[in-house]
A and B are shown apart, each in its own frame.
Chain A
Amino acid sequence: MENTALPPLPDEAVLLSEDARDWREAVAAAGRALTASGATDAGYAVDMVRMIEEHGPYVVIAPGLALAHARPGPAVHRDGIAIVSLRDPVDFGHPYNDPVRVVLALAGGSSARHLQLVAEIANIFNDSDAVERLAAATSADEVRGILGASA
């Protein structure tokens, strides 16, 4: 059970109604939240932005939701997730799923672990209204309740 559940989501890893002028600021905010929670170095945010610069806005995997992440590496201290909801939605340039209202940032200590975490995320979000509920959430507790995460 320990290995499949999401890592803890402390208050520092949740930013609600964040101001972001564009997708870079939105991803940077998610990176700051990961760093504040102790999961990553500040450099991980730069890596997450670079992934999107290199490969495009494919991280917008569902209407309104961006799954920001980079590869495991020295910038990752331990598994971590962060949630950022945006006061004003921003476009990532995705053909179907813009604009983005929620950024879920993910850091995995290894590739295998990273894959386990995204599988867990799929279980939470599949065929559900979790994105809408996260966008409307007004407290970190509410966000944890939606994700089934601990503090």
Chain B
Amino acid sequence: MKILTLCGAGIGTSGILKVNAERVLQRLGITATVVAIDASMLESELEDAQVVLTGPEFVERIGRTFADVIVVENYFDTAELQRKLEDALG
């Protein structure tokens, strides 16, 4: 399974989502590859992704997709992340 974390530069907030998603996935016993990207990489990365984690500003940019788009409010709240990932993957 592939999970994208998306932000403006692909190296900042998406990096925080990546490490926290990996932490939560391990907790849940789910194996996945988590890739931090910026919006310019969406087209090439989105096709085979199951989940996109991002902030509210980027939802429109993602457009139509088969992936579950998860909007994260507090990037440091791993309980929020776990709940939303469980909902999407469960």
A binding-site residues for B, Cβ under 8 Å: 51, 54-59, 61-63, 67, 69-72, 94-97, 106, 108, 111, 114-115, 118-119, 121-123, 125-128
The smallest C-beta distance from B11 to any residue of chain A, in angstroms, reads 4
- Contact of B12 (CB < 8 Å), options: A59, A96, A127: A59
Task: Kindly state whether residue B28 has any CB partner on chain A within 8 Å.
Answer: no
What A residues does B57 contact at CB under 8 A?
55-58
B binding-site residues for A, Cβ under 8 Å: 7-13, 15-16, 18-20, 36, 39, 54-58, 73-79
A119 x B15 contact (CB < 8 A): yes
The smallest C-beta distance from A130 to any residue of chain B, in angstroms, reads 8
The smallest C-beta distance from B27 to any residue of chain A, in angstroms, reads 12
What B residues does A125 contact at CB under 8 A?
76
The smallest C-beta distance from A69 to any residue of chain B, in angstroms, reads 5
A55 x B7 contact (CB < 8 A): yes
Identity of the chain A residue whose Cβ is nearest the Cβ of B61 in the assembled complex: A55
- Can you pick out 16 interface pairs between chain A and chain B where the beta carbons lie within 8 Å of each other? A51-B9, A58-B8, A58-B56, A59-B8, A61-B13, A61-B76, A70-B9, A72-B11, A96-B56, A111-B11, A118-B11, A118-B16, A118-B19, A119-B19, A121-B16, A122-B76
A127 x B58 contact (CB < 8 A): no
B75 x A61 contact (CB < 8 A): yes
